[in-house]
Amino acid sequence: MAFDFKKEYKEFYMPKNKPSIVNVPKMNYIAVRGKGDPNAENGEYKQSIGLLYGIAFTIKMSKMGDHRIDGYFDYVVPPLEGFWRQEGIESGIDYSRKDELEFISVIRLPDFVTKAEFDWAVAEAERKKKSDFSKAEFLTVDEGLCVQCMHIGSYDDEPKTVELMHEFMAAEGYSLDLDEKRLHHEIYLSDPRKCASEKLRTVVRHPVK
């Protein structure tokens, strides 16, 4: 059976729908940076998703071709994630000003994928798909101490969950630690094209100290 990050690391991908404190280890990602409203039909965000999955599946299918990645094991491609920020917003993001959003769209990489293997996958994806994947980068993030919660419902309703998270962290003796490097983080466990908005499941995570 293929290794599934969501099942093997439930504390990071499947938290309960009430806030908790978690210490997130260093992880490597395929990443694409951009800005603008994520709902824009031809915006940078939707373009970033195509780049991420193009590389993610090139790596996953590498065992099927001539290239063999050392240490490869069969796995389920991890879910789409996003790090978000807005200039001047210190408590997260303002969902009424989506055109001002800056993002880093990411998909987690298995630990066996090195920077060299990533570079091979980018070149291979470009060769096969005849597209430019140069915006993609190999990104290492060490989130550390965070408050997180499973949000169930529309993305636009996330502020209610964020408020609960902030109340919880304060009660536990923590304070928010958002800055240019420690960002509002979302992990998308549902496909909005196939799931009613009120049933969407999204892990919301904020750095604390």
| 164-204 pLDDT per residue, tens | 999 999 999 999 999 999 999 999 999 998 999 999 999 99
Average pLDDT rounded to a whole number, residues 15-44: 96
What is the predicted pLDDT for the residue at 71?
A: 81
All structural domains of the chain: 5-207 (3.20.80.10)
What is the predicted pLDDT for the residue at 65?
A: 55
What is the predicted pLDDT for the residue at 89?
A: 82
Average pLDDT rounded to a whole number, residues 54-62: 93
Beta strands in 36-135 (DSSP E): 80-85, 102-108
Give the whole-angstrom CA distance, residue 179 versus residue 181. 5
Beta strands in 56-131 (DSSP E): 80-85, 102-108
Residue 159 has phi, psi (to 5 degrees) of -55, -30
Give the whole-angstrom CA distance, residue 83 versus residue 62. 27
Asked whether 163 and 18 are in contact (CB, 8 A), the reply is no
Average pLDDT rounded to a whole number, residues 7-26: 96
Q: Higher confidence at residue 91 or residue 110?
A: 110
DSSP for residue 150: E
pLDDT at 56 over 60: yes
What is the predicted pLDDT for the residue at 64?
A: 55
pLDDT in tens, 120-151: 999 999 999 999 999 999 999 999 999 999 99
pLDDT at 103 over 90: yes
Residue with tokens 């991890």: 78
- pLDDT mean across residues, the chain: 94
Half-sphere exposure of 83 (CA within 13 A, CB side): 21
Q: Would you say how long the chain is, in residues? A: 209
- Sorted by sequence, the CB contacts under 8 Å of residue 34 that are 6+ apart come out as 43, 44, 45, 47, 48, 102, 103, 105, 135
Kindly state the tokens that stand for 193: 């094209």
Question: Residue 69: which pLDDT band, with cuts at 50, 70 and 90?
Answer: confident
What is the predicted pLDDT for the residue at 68?
A: 67
Of 147, 60, 135, 144, the C-alpha closest to 104 is: 135
Question: Residue 66: which pLDDT band, with cuts at 50, 70 and 90?
Answer: low
